[in-house]
Every structure is written in C-alpha cells, then in structure tokens.
Amino acid sequence: MKKRKILVAGGGGFIGGHLAKRLLEDPQNDVRVVDIKPMSEWYFVHDSSENRVGDLSDMGIADSACDGVDDVYNLAADMGGMGFIENNKALCMLTVLINTNLLVASRIHHVKRYFFASSACVYNADKQRDPNVTALKEEDAYPAMPEDGYGWEKLFSERMCRHFREDFGLCTRVARFHNVYGPHGTWEGGREKAPAAMCRKVIAAKTSGELSIEIWGDGKQTRSFMYIDDCINGICRIMDSEIVDPINLGSDELVTINQLAEIVEKIAGIQLEKKYNLSAPKGVNGRNSDNTRIQRSLGWAPSIPLAEGMGKTYDWILKEYRTKYLLPLHA
Ligand code: NAD
Ligand code: GDD
C-alpha cells in the first residue's frame, strides 16, 4: 500500500515536534518536517522523518515542501506567550506569509487535507474583559476584535482556509488552540507562556534560595491550559473529522494565574511570596474554552487535569534547567 506523505510545517517547534512523533508511530505515514530553525534547536529530531531546514515564508521553499504531499499540518508561526506577542506585532503578522504560501502550494500539488493551527487569540476582546469569564464559543470570534497583531493574523488565515475550501475545493481543518503546555516547549528566552514561566521561576527561586517570584499582572486574571497530549489527540481527531469550521481545542479547567503558580509551588514543595508586576504584558482578563461543539462533534474533549500535566512539565523543565546551569541532575 502507498504510504501517506505528510508535511509537518514548524515541526522543529513544540506542538509540531510532538505531532511528528505521533504521526511517525503509524508505519503507513511518511513524514516530512520543515522548520526555519537550525536542527540543533529543534525539540525533537526524528530519525525516521525527512527533516529540512527552510523558511516557509519563501514561496519556493513552501512549494517544494508540499511537493508529493497528501496531508499538510501547518504549525509554523513566529509566536510566543504574552511577552512576545505584545511586543512583536509585525513579526506575528508576517506569519501570514507562511500560511498563504502553504495554501497556494497545497493547491498546486493537489494536497488532500490541510490543517491550520489557529488560536483563542482570535476571540473578541469584549468577551474577555472579566476574569470570571463566560467560556468562549466559536461564534464569539465575530464581530472581529481579536488580539492585536497575532490574533488578526490568525483570524485572517482562518478565513483564507475557508475560502480555499469553498473556492478551490481544498479540504481544510482549523482548530483554535487555547494555551498549550507540556515538556519539550519553550521555557525561557522571552517566548515562553505562563505554565513554563512559572515552572522556571519556581525552580530558579528554589535553586537560589530566593523567597519570592514575580507574577505578571495582579494574578487574578484567568486562563485554561491544555496539556500537549490532549492537543495532539485533538489535532488528529479534527483532521480525521468532517468539521469544516474553526473549532475550539482547549481545556475548560479555568484557573487564576495565582492558582497556576500555587500548583507549581505544591509540585516543588515550596511556598513563595508573589510579587506582582502590573506593567508587564497581561493580555485579556479572562479566557476559557467552551467545549460544547467539540464534545458534540467528536464525543471527546481535552480532559487531562492541570495538576497532572504540570507535574510532567515541571519535571522536564527541572532537568533542562539543571543541564543548562550545570547543576547536579539529582540534587
Ligand atoms: P513553537 O514556536 O514552538 O513552534 C513554531 C515553529 O514554527 C518554530 O519551531 C519556528 O521555528 C517555526 N517557524 C517560524 N517561522 C517559520 C518559517 N518562516 N518557516 C518555517 N518554520 C517557521 O510554537 P508552538 O507552541 O509549537 O505553536 C505551534 C502553532 O500553534 C503555531 O501556529 C501557534 O501560533 C499555534 N498556537 C499555539 C499555542 C500554544 O499555546 N502553544 C496556542 C495557540 C496557537
Ligand atoms: N508568559 C508569562 N510569563 N505570562 C505570565 C507570567 C510570566 O512570567 N506571569 C504571569 N503571566 C500571565 C500573563 O500576564 C497573562 O495574563 C497570563 O499569565 C497568560 O500568559 P501567556 O501564557 O503568556 O499567554 P496568554 O494565555 O495570554 O496567550 C497565549 O495563549 C494563546 C492561546 O490561548 C499565547 O501563547 C498566545 O500566543 C496563544 O495564542
């Protein structure tokens, strides 16, 4: 039987790396990974995939990446947590070139299925003003008032997928990820999101004997966080489904950022004073995923408890931290 040729765009990154790993478990899949970063910086380099370094915002690279491919998973983006997206709006918006080129190339090469990783940042800001937020339903993206920069790019790219499907018959799938965390993701350097940042800060405090950590904002803002295994399961299920409209892929376990910090403190067996930085990037006051549609369509929704996922994430970041700062691995 002919193997299914799959492109994982952005597969040197966090979600793309985990996705390529999952796809490679099926011997019928022949996986090509493309990422702009040097391979030494990829979270996973799989021996059994074809691995290429290239800039997918270049049409020639996107074209050759899609050559001979059945399925495209577009996970490539110049993005990060609030610290990055609030200060790099032009870079975030330039990511539009990646999705545009990949859609055009997919059409040229008769790609069978195309997955786009969108974001909860597409949702209307007015629906996210209260920390005691009503969970976001898919229709809350319109009228459009998304996160400036990054959210506008995602909303535009979602629509490009829709029009390529309607006008050119390309089979597209779009998932709106809510904050994803887990091992093998960014935990320092400015692009990290709150779950990884909390782990790093608590580890740094514990290691140095500091008695406090800095929290951006007042700690009362709320989010839901999805563990990477739920994210990968959701991507595969959505790709295999008949769901054509953008759909939430996120946890609905709502916590304050203070509660997130306390979960990490408990894992680390330490209690720290919280120092609030009210001028740091904060984003919306509250955001949660309404999972009615995914539950109804797939009979499934993300369910891994935050405390469980954070335990695994903390252990991985602790190992990375000790390796990077040359600390004993089992101290
Ligand atoms: P990531 O930064 O770890 O991975 C993205 C990868 O894309 C990186 O490895 C990066 O080098 C690569 N890339 C950037 N520009 C490129 C280019 N021009 N050509 C080729 N590769 C390029 O991020 P992630 O967390 O794995 O996110 C994957 C996707 O999911 C992104 O589209 C992101 O916007 C979306 N998303 C993620 C989250 C989250 O919480 N992680 C939430 C919502 C949406
Ligand atoms: N990054 C970070 N680092 N955030 C912190 C920190 C810290 O040290 N301390 C507190 N926070 C707060 C932020 O101020 C924000 O209010 C909240 O934790 C969550 O921040 P992030 O995890 O950085 O991002 P987000 O949830 O606002 O947005 C993320 O999720 C979207 C999908 O739901 C981003 O990653 C977006 O790119 C993504 O699309």
Mean pLDDT of 187-208: 97
* Model pLDDT, residue 169: 98
Instruction: Measure 10 CA to ligand 1 centroid, in angstroms.
Output: 6
| Core vs surface per residue 117-141: b (16+ CB within 10 A) or e | bbbbbbbbeebbeebebebbebebb
Q: Secondary structure of the chain: what % helix, strand, coil (to 5)?
A: 45, 20, 40
pLDDT grade for 331, boundaries at 50, 70 and 90: low
Does residue 143 have a cis bond before it (omega within 30 degrees)?
yes
Q: Which residue in 50, 49, 41 sits closest to 12, CA to CA?
A: 41
CB 235 within 8 Å of CB 14: no
Res 157 pLDDT > 60: yes
How far does the chain reach from its first CA to its final CA, in angstroms?
A: 51
Res 200 pLDDT > 80: yes
* 331 vs 21, more confident: 21
Segment holding 262, helix H or strand E: helix 257-268
Decide: 251 in ligand 1 pocket, CB within 6 A: no
Mean pLDDT of 40-53: 97
Decide: 237 in ligand 2 pocket, CB within 6 A: no
- Domain residues of the chain, as ranges? 4-180+227-249, 182-224+253-288+304-324
Please give the angle made by the CA atoms of 197, 201 and 202, to the nearest 5 degrees: 120
Please state, rounded to an integer, the average pLDDT across all residues of the chain. 97
pLDDT grade for 329, boundaries at 50, 70 and 90: low
Q: Which residues are catalytic?
A: 150
Work out the percent of the chain whose per-residue pLDDT is above 70: 99
ipTM of model:
0.99
Of all atoms in ligand 1, which is nearest to the CA of residue 41? Answer: 9
Instruction: Measure 206 CA to ligand 1 centroid, in angstroms.
Output: 30
Global confidence as pTM: 0.98
Of all atoms in ligand 2, which is nearest to the CA of residue 177? Answer: 32
State the CATH architecture for 182-224+253-288+304-324. Answer: Alpha-Beta Complex (3.90)
Residue 172, helix vs strand vs coil: strand
Query: What is the assigned CATH class of domain 4-180+227-249?
Result: alpha beta
Distance CA 228, CA 219 (A): 24
